[in-house]
Amino acid sequence: MPADAPAVVNIAAAFLDAFPADRVLTDPAVLDSYAHDDAEWAEFHRPAAVVLAETTEDVATVVRLAAAHGLSVVPRGAGTGLSGGANALEGAVVLSLERMTRVLEVNAAERYVVTEAGVINDDLRRVVAENGLWYPPDPASYRISTIGGNAATNAGGICCVKYGVTRDYVLGMTAVLADGEVVRLGRRTAKGATGYDLTALLVGSEGTLGIITELTLKLLPLGGREERAVVGSFASLEDAGAAVAAITAAGIIPSALELIDETCLRAVDEWQGLGLPHGAAALLLSTVDEPGAVGVERAASLAAHMVDAGALAVAQAAAAEEVDRLFLARRLAYPALERLGPVLTEDICVPRRAVPEMLGRIRATAAAFDVVIATIAHAGDGNLHPLIIAPVEDENAKARAKEAFDRIVEDCRALGGTVTGEHGVGLLKLPGARAELGERVLAMHRDIKNALDPRGTLNPGKAF
């Protein structure tokens, strides 16, 4: 048994009085599997215990017991985060919401859904689609990430360039505060202006101000869209970035505008055999979804801007299976690259006019630090994901990767950007976030945290 085993047993005993034994996990191997999210480069420790909540009252009970014993609580959905936001601190209790998987209500007339936090994004989208409705936010992890985790990090996705991010769809929520009190925030009406927008405050707060257990989400009609894809191949990342800047300057709002570089394309195709195009430094994947002649005209305009920016080739597709195949490559890029070695994931966001410059700086950083950097991007809103790959057990490469990571953050900020577009600050982005926010704004963050969580019970040390 590890040296900390007695503390684990004593802490677990406090929760075993309130929960069945199969919902209080203490086996060291199981604890290790809950110790961190997908950002393995961020610090983590074995938790003291893991508790599997099934109801809001379960969450409240865990928080009350933890507070009474002076323990911190780290909330966790599916563990798909990429910034260390769900990483366990020493002596922490990990509170998993993975069993809270009920869709409680779909109101087609008012266009909202009420769902528990552990529901998988794709499952929610499927349920509401059965009622002729659509939930747009679609992070690349939509098939495995939970809706509560999406809200905690204000997740975006491929559709967000036109349809917005998670915060734009959260009407209200049920949350457990640091003292175990259950509160209901927000509304179920189309409009509302009563009091401070505490719902928006908790979205993106990474579990530091309250633990979200239920969400009321705005929905859109499912029908009325006709998707057409326009795909451009480019000799350089900078040329692809120039096309993005030109499309933005022209006032075109595509329903998706994604970039994937040659390294990512090769990794995905070698893994999945999708028959993806090769021989270009980057592909720009775009869609428009306006029906009829308007959609045809906008697709043609996108293609023209790509040609003007120096595209090697531009192709259009309207068949759903072809569109899905191309965008599957974008969604599979991260897991494909993980097969090559540990991946340090960036999540910077720059002004769209600065996309070409930032892509050039990323390429220069890869050369300066002798590291492999693959790049994918929600290019339409300037959200770039440079993925830094280090060989397994190569400590020198890992150190260079960390230096490259820091350089990219500095360059992003120098171009007027922000250190995280959708993954959250977690632990990985703390230095960059603190530099970006400045001391006075950090003090405001601390004041809010202290007002809602004076003991520092909820996910301490994360987000700011």
CB 246 within 8 A of CB 239: no
Confidence of residue 11 (pLDDT cuts 50, 70, 90): confident
Name the range with the highest mean pLDDT among 89-93, 278-282, 448-452: 448-452
CATH of 5-96 among 3.30.70.580, 3.40.1190.10, 3.30.70.20, 3.30.43.10 = 3.30.43.10
- Give dist(CA 232, CA 307) in Å, integer: 8
Strands (E), 39-143: 49-52, 73-76, 93-96, 103-107, 112-116, 133-134
Would the pLDDT of 43 be above 80? Answer: yes
Check pLDDT > 60 for residue 93: yes
List phi, psi (to 5°) of 376.
Answer: -120, 160
Which pLDDT does position 325 carry in this prediction?
A: 81
Say what the pLDDT of residue 7 is: 55
Which residues have a Cβ under 8 Å from the Cβ of 213 and sit 6 or more positions away?
Answer: 53, 55, 56, 59, 97, 100, 116, 117, 148, 173, 174, 175, 176
Mind listing the pLDDT tens digit for each residue in 217-250? 999 999 999 999 999 999 999 999 999 999 999 9
- Residue pair 387/341 in contact (Cβ under 8 Å)? The answer is no
Mean pLDDT over 253-258 rounds to 96
Stretch (H or E) spanning 428 = none
Amino acid at 118: G
* pLDDT of amino acid 341: 87
Kindly state the DSSP code that residue 146 receives in the 8-state scheme.
B
416 or 11, which is more confident: 416
Q: Which residues pair with 387 in a beta bridge?
A: 345, 374
Confidence at residue 18, expressed as pLDDT on a 0 to 100 scale: 95
What percent of the chain stands above pLDDT 70?
A: 98
Chain mean position to CA 9? 34
**What's the DSSP call for residue 1?**
-
Residues 6+ apart with CB under 8 A from 45: 35, 88, 89, 90, 91, 92
Per-residue pLDDT at 329: 84
Structure tokens at 225: 């869209």
Closest CA to 384 of 364, 400, 408, 365: 408
> Residue 366 is encoded by which pair of tokens?
């890869």
Q: Where are the domains of the chain?
A: 5-96, 103-221, 224-335
The strand order across the sheet containing 170-176 reads 103-107, 112-116, 211-218, 170-176, 182-186
Q: In 244-312, which ranges are E strands?
A: 256-261, 282-288
Amino acid at 198: L
CA distance 434 to 20: 42
Kind and range of the H or E element at 112? Answer: strand 112-116
- Say which residue the tokens 């003291």 belong to: 48
How large is the average pLDDT for residues 51-60?
98
Q: Where are the beta strands (DSSP E) in 198-277?
A: 211-218, 220-221, 228-234, 256-261
Mean pLDDT of the chain: 94
Q: Are strands 372-378 and 383-389 parallel, antiparallel or unpaired?
A: antiparallel
Mean pLDDT of the region 376-404: 94
- Radius of gyration over every alpha carbon of the chain, rounded to an integer in angstroms: 22
As a whole number of angstroms, the longest Cα–Cα distance in the chain is 70
Q: Report d(CA 314, CA 9) in Å as an integer.
A: 62
- The stretch 47-51 carries a mean pLDDT of 97
**Residue 124: its pLDDT value, please?**
98
Predicted pLDDT of residue 33:
97
Percent of the chain residues topping a pLDDT of 90: 89
Residue 6 has pLDDT above 70, yes or no: no
* Residue 10 pLDDT: 76
Distances (CA, A) of 110 to 101, 261, 271, 402: 22, 42, 43, 48
Tell me yes or no: is domain 103-221 CATH 3.90.226.10: no
User: Which CATH class name applies to 224-335?
Assistant: alpha beta
Predicted confidence (pLDDT) at residue 92 exceeds the cutoff of 70? yes
110 burial type by CB count under 10 A (0-12 exposed, 13-18 middle, 19+ buried)? middle
Q: What sign has the CA pseudo-torsion 373, 377, 382, 384?
A: negative
Confidence of residue 3 (pLDDT cuts 50, 70, 90): very low
Residue 21 per-residue DSSP state: G
Which pLDDT score is estimated for 8?
A: 58
Cross-strand pairs, 386: 375
pLDDT tens-place string over residues 149-168: 999 999 999 999 999 999 99
CB atoms within 10 A of CB 107: 14
| CA 203 from centroid of its chain's CA atoms | 12
Q: Which two tokens stand for residue 71?
A: 């323990």
DSSP, collapsed to helix, strand or coil, labels residue 425 as coil
pLDDT confidence of residue 9: 56
Contacts of 263 (CB under 8 A, 6+ apart): 337, 372, 374, 375
pLDDT exceeds cutoff 50 at 70: yes
Structure tokens at 433: 């976030």
Give per-residue pLDDT as tens, 319-369: 778 778 878 888 899 999 999 888 999 999 999 999 999 999 999 999 999
Is the pLDDT at 4 greater than 60? The verdict is no
What is the rounded end-to-end Cα distance, in angstroms, of the chain? 35
Q: What is the pLDDT of residue 54?
A: 98
44-55: average pLDDT: 97
Topology agreement, domain 103-221 and domain 224-335: no
Stated length of the chain: 464
